[in-house]
Amino acid sequence: MDSILQVNGLTGGYSPRRPVLHDLSFEVKAGEMVGLIGLNGAGKSTTIKHILGLMKPHEGVVLVDGTTLESDTEKYRSAFAYVPETPVLFDELTVEEHLQLTGMAYSVKEDAYTERREELLEEFQMLPKRKAFASHLSKGMKQKVMIMNALLAEPPLYIIDEPFLGLDPLGIRSLLERLVEVKGKGGAILMSSHILSTVEAYCDRFIVMHHGKIVAQGTLEEVRQAAGMEARGGGSLEDAFYKLVSRGKG
């Protein structure tokens, strides 16, 4: 499988004298979902900001679909869609106008745009709200709009940060089912979430961060081994995660 996201030797943060991230290296391949997990303050959000191009690495390189931000900014940014923990919408635009704006930004063809728009509005129970302004939506509905925008674009890479906050059970189920479809079509997904049972059930591999370092990564068996547990049948992802972070590794 091709690597859609490559992070090589990433060291970075807000101050060069006190980096938050320390020599991170990982990848997300086409057709897989990778779970990024860690305690609050572990460096997950800072890692995502570097991938998004919002922060410049002190050392190392980030490639999305084989391109760095510096070499081709437009290609780099169009190769991913981002769903943040807190929805960011334009109050003066309707739900449908947000989708239209996304379709234009990602150059989605008209026929494909119309089909995807209607499918997403129906699947996420947002048909009655298609003409509603963002300022009139609940947080959960705003989150649905962010998710629909990402799914509408169909880029090579999806970066999803705590997507389940504020979503109702049907919304969560719709998102997870869609992510399975995205994987099946060859999309790459990096998902950060504190709901470890869901991460374990849906992700193919895992990256465990602690104090700005990667303390374990790989399949569940490999994470178990890193935690000093039996590789097979030796406990859940949550059990392994607890061992890794409670012993202060990293």
Tens of pLDDT, residue by residue, the chain (250 residues)? 699 999 999 999 988 788 999 999 999 999 999 999 999 999 999 999 999 999 999 999 999 999 999 999 999 999 999 999 899 999 999 999 999 999 999 999 999 999 999 999 999 999 999 999 999 999 999 999 999 999 999 999 999 999 888 888 999 999 999 999 999 999 999 999 999 999 999 999 999 999 999 999 999 999 999 999 986 777 899 999 999 999 754 4
Contact 241, 200 (CB under 8 A): no
Which CATH code for domain 3-79+155-246?
A: 3.40.50.300
**What pLDDT, on the 0 to 100 scale, is given for residue 249?**
44
Residue type, position 232, single letter: R
Delimit the domains of the chain by residue range. Answer: 3-79+155-246, 88-154
DSSP-assigned letters across all residues of 61-75 = EEEETTB-TTT-HHH
The whole model's pTM is what? Answer: 0.93
Task: Please state whether beta strands 80-83 and 157-161 pair in parallel, antiparallel, or not at all (unpaired).
Answer: parallel
Cα angle: 82, vertex 165, 246; to 5 degrees: 95
Cα angle: 57, vertex 62, 63; to 5 degrees: 155
Neighbours of 49 (CB within 10 A): 17
Neighbours of 13 (CB within 10 A): 19
**What pLDDT, on the 0 to 100 scale, is given for residue 141?**
95
**What pLDDT, on the 0 to 100 scale, is given for residue 16?**
79
Contact 27, 214 (CB under 8 A): no
